[in-house]
Amino acid sequence: MKGFSMLYLAVFFALAISASGEDEAGWEKSFNLGLNITQAAYSDSWEGGEAGSFSWVANADGVFKRQVSPKFNLKNTVKLAFGQTHNQDVETKKWAKPEKSTDKIDLEALGLFTLHKWVDPYVAFRFESQFFDASIDTNKRYINPITLTESAGIARTLLKKDKDEILSRLGLAIKENINRDAVSPDDPTTTENITSLDGGLESVTDVTMVFNDKLGYVGKLGLYRAFFFSKKDDFEGTEAEDYWKAIDVNLENTITASISKYIQVTFYTQLLYDKQISKKGRLKETLALGLTYKLM
């Protein structure tokens, strides 16, 4: 599968280069850095089990778009985040080791063939991971696990006005999941590289709305239905035998409000549903006030 991924990327960038014979426009660039900090402290005179805490989250979000030629548009999206929480022991008042609260690496390259038809063909490649994997105490791993998604299909721009845009796409996708040095299912005392492969139908809708110079919204709805799964035999005869056939859902919503040039309020929600991980949906919600800096 790694060979397939490299071939896919080679074809993808070859298309971009071949389409760049007629330079249509320069890059549209947007890249923001953010830092949110929350701190609480109590003096010794407090009674009732109070304890201090300190948490921080750093994030970077970027979009790089270019109309490479009249018939090819390239859009690269970067989403990075990492944060930790430090808690103070109620009794001893000593600070415990920091625990990871946020960890995200999400990179996507989308090539859209702008034929100006009712729908346009597209190809996409997505890399998802995290900076630090501490699921095994004795084996700290970086950039693990990894999910690689290659997809191709048709797309339609439902709205395009100034900075507002709604783009919906539907296509076939292949996903490779890589978990390096994971605990072996056959022998818990050893580790091994565990990989799985599945493919199916993917629907992705991206929404960007700029209400004014201080308020904006970014949303993403992803739906995925697998048609095959390389590890299905491992679950045969169990309750989870057909869980891989369920539709996966990933709904993200981000509302940002700028109070000043460098201070911003961000409200973020994410709803995830993957029956192989949990029968219930997983909801994440954050409300943060912090510093932000626009590099581009």
Per-residue confidence in pLDDT tens, the chain, 296 aa:
444 454 455 555 555 444 444 445 688 888 889 998 888 877 777 766 678 888 999 999 999 999 988 999 999 999 999 999 988 887 777 888 888 999 999 999 999 999 989 999 999 999 999 999 987 777 788 999 999 999 999 999 999 998 899 999 999 999 999 998 887 777 777 888 889 999 999 999 999 999 998 999 999 999 999 999 999 999 999 999 999 999 999 999 999 999 998 999 999 999 999 999 999 999 999 888 888 888 76
Please state the separation of Cα 149 from the chain's center in Å. Answer: 12
Domains of the chain: total: 1
This prediction's pTM = 0.87
Closest CA to 249 of 266, 224, 226: 224
Distance CA 214, CA 260 (A): 9
Q: What is the pLDDT of residues 100-134, one digit of tens each?
A: 999 999 999 999 999 989 999 999 999 999 999 98
Q: Which helix (H) or strand (E) holds 31?
A: strand 28-40
Q: Which domain holds residue 286?
A: 2-44+51-294
Q: Who's near 128: CB < 8 A, 6+ residues apart?
A: 105, 106, 107, 146, 147, 148, 149
Q: What is the CATH number of the domain that holds 192?
A: 2.40.230
